[in-house]
């Protein structure tokens, strides 16, 4: 099965939902206990193209492997009130594997002018939980371009400013 996300479906979590952007931001090819996500290059306004982002309703570790392109995997752990406790950024390049710890929400961000393609090992019978991301209109930071550089814009829907860590 293949699922395609449209710009309209991504508006819930974009910094500027009505800014011009990528018409079909990404697609997911669902396989047997694995998925391949293909993100188109481009930006939605100044924000780099990304996946919607989600948490899991299961407490397992998920592994992402970058198959092609360059991007970021952002990961966030929330407290019981939905405020971000941790915000991690990992750079993805071809061949890199990253584990998403149990309890962390996550999204992929394409920061290049080429496709970003990643494989994950999420069990297909596992429900994604999009509600915490939708409620706050995204994760704690938006990944944007400012003066030709990658920058982080704070999501003002979070009361607590979380420090960004990188791997």
How many Cβ atoms sit within 10 Å of the Cβ of residue 149? 7
> 136: which strand partners?
none
User: pLDDT tens digits for the chain (167 residues)?
Assistant: 899 999 999 999 999 999 999 999 999 998 888 999 999 999 999 999 999 999 988 778 899 999 999 999 999 999 999 999 999 999 999 999 999 999 999 999 999 999 999 999 886 656 788 999 999 999 999 999 999 999 999 999 999 889 999 98
CATH code linked to domain 2-166: 2.60.120.10
What does the pLDDT read at residue 68?
98
Contact 15, 45 (CB under 8 A): yes
* Residues 9, 14, 19: CA angle, nearest 5 degrees: 90
What pLDDT is stored for residue 56 in this prediction? 86
Query: What are the beta bridge partners of residue 68?
Result: 117
Q: What was the pLDDT predicted at 125? A: 59
Cα separation, 92 vs 33, in Å, equals 22
- Cβ count near 22 (within 10 Å): 20
pLDDT value at residue 126: 64
Q: Are 70 and 116 in contact (CB under 8 A)?
A: yes
Instruction: State the pLDDT at residue 88.
Output: 97
Q: Which residue has the tokens 């930006």?
A: 43
* Closest among 75, 120, 74, 111 to 93, alpha carbons compared: 111
């Amino acid at each position: 099965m293949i699922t395609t996300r449209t710009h309209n479906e991504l508006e819930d979590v974009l910094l500027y939902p009505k800014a011009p952007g990528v018409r079909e931001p990404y697609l997911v090819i669902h396989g047997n206990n694995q998925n391949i996500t293909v993100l188109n290059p481009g930006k939605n306004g100044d924000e780099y193209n990304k996946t919607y982002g989600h948490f899991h309703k299961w407490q397992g570790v998920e592994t992402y492997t970058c198959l092609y392109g360059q991007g970021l995997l952002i990961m966030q752990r929330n407290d019981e009130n939905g405020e971000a406790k941790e915000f991690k950024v990992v750079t993805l390049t071809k061949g890199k594997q990253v584990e998403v710890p149990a309890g962390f929400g996550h999204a992929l961000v394409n920061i290049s002018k080429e496709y970003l393609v990643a494989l994950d090992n999420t069990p297909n019978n596992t429900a994604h939980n999009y509600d915490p991301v939708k409620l706050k209109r995204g994760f704690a930071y938006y990944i944007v371009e400012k003066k030709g550089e990658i920058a982080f814009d704070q999501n003002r829907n979070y009361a607590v400013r979380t420090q960004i860590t990188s791997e």
